[in-house]
Structure 1
Amino acid sequence: MASRLVPKVNSKQGGSPCKESHVVLLSPVGRIEISGCEMGVHEIKLPKVSLLPAGRAESCEVSQGHEEMPEPLQQCTAWLRAYFCEPGGTERLPVPALHHPLLQRDSFTRQVLWTLLNDVKFGEAVSYQQLAHLAGNRRAARAVGGAMRSNPIPIIIPCHRVIRSSGDSGNYGGGQLLKEWLLSHEKLQKEKLQKEKLQEQLQEELAHP
């Protein structure tokens, strides 16, 4: 993305408790449970899987909760649909507002998560040490690992893109199999998008020599 993402983090300090809504998204990797309120997305829960589908992601549909979805959950499900089935579309979609205490407190964990969201793009990967350096403390690789384990908004905040310095995928909340699938999905879709852009450029050059 050309522009730097600055997701909105809403807070209701001193206000009334959230009226939480829940949505279930049937994705190519299984049931993804999303919770949130009118202020923002609270949490994304990924499935624990032992077998993932092969090939391209074909569909991604809301199965529960679509009747009363606040705007942040509508944006979240739209973003995830694009991520799985039309990755190029995520560049044109807003990142939903996020409303989780971890993302409201001023902490190194929060800094790491925002840095990951802003600086590590689709189809890329960084090591824990590289991310620590990007977040402002090159010696805090272990703390980065803790931040990844605490991430309440996986996929949107892409902790699956953080790997070990050896190149191994490392641990993941949804399991190593899911992490490897997400990385492979992004690599394949990025290559596809690059080929499509090259073809468009060639067609333009042929049309306007």
Structure 2
Amino acid sequence: MDKIYTSYYKSPIGTIELKGNNDGVISLYFIEEDVTSFETPNCLVECVNQLDEYFKGVRKNFSLKLNISGTEFRKKVWNKLQDIPYGETCSYLDIAKAIENEKAVRAVGGANHNNKISIIIPCHRVIGSSGNLTGYGGGLWRKDWLLKHEKKFKDVK
């Protein structure tokens, strides 16, 4: 098995812990500790570069190799999340319909909750059917910040 490397990225909304190996990015989580990486492992350099561009409002789509593990259902949901356009939102029901399983709204929520690669697999773009912000592992305030950030840069070329 390939060694897993860890790096820390200082974002405008807190420290992000990145994990990856030669097969791709494994996880991207906000953490509450203030940790610094002195050297970024080669397998995570491009991820750090693309996160920099994202937070500057320049990058709207990520093009990284992802090392995703999960059930087939969850992978299907995570693939659909990547289809949500930058600066836009959709509901859990929209995702359930998109994967042709309209009754799976709760399971879609569960898959969203178990997304290990936040921002890149944009679970922050999924909101409740009422338009309200609902759960986000990094905290609702970060979800709100990310959505406002994307709206601000959505039409900037």
Residue 24 of structure 1 is matched in structure 2 by 8
Q: Give the TM-score taking structure 2 as reference length.
A: 0.91
Instruction: Give the secondary-structure state (helix, strand or coil) at the position aligned to 1:42.
Output: strand
* Corresponding residue for residue 85 of structure 1: 56
Summarize deviations over 1:35-89 as a string: whole Å, max 9, x none.
111111111111359xxxxxxxxxxxx941535x233x112111111110133x3
Tell me which residue corresponds to 1:11: none
Gaps in structure 2 of 5+ consecutive residues: none
CA contact (8 A) 1:21 1:65 kept: no
Q: Using the alignment, how far apart are the partners of 1:127 and 1:156 within structure 2?
A: 18
Greater gyration radius: 1
Q: TM-score, length-normalised on structure 1?
A: 0.69
After TM superposition, list the pairs within 5 Å mapping 1:93-108 onto structure 2. 95-102=63-70, 105=71, 107-108=72-73
Q: Which amino acid aligns with 2:50?
A: W
SS at match of 1:166: coil
Alignment pair present for 1:149 and 2:91 = no
> Which structure carries more helix by proportion?
1
**Counterpart for residue 75 of structure 2:** 110
Residues 64-123 of structure 1: CA distance to partner in whole angstroms, max 9, x if unpaired?
Answer: 1535x233x112111111110133x345xx622111322xx5x11110100111x20100
Q: Letter of the 1:132 partner, please give it.
A: A
Q: Is 1:178 the counterpart of 2:151 in the alignment?
A: no
Q: Which 4+ runs in 1 deviate beyond 2 A?
A: none
Alignment correspondent of 2:154: 190
Structure 1: gaps of 5 or more residues: 1-16, 50-61, 198-209
Alpha-carbon contact 1:21-1:70 (below 8 Å) kept: no
Matched, 1:42 2:15: no
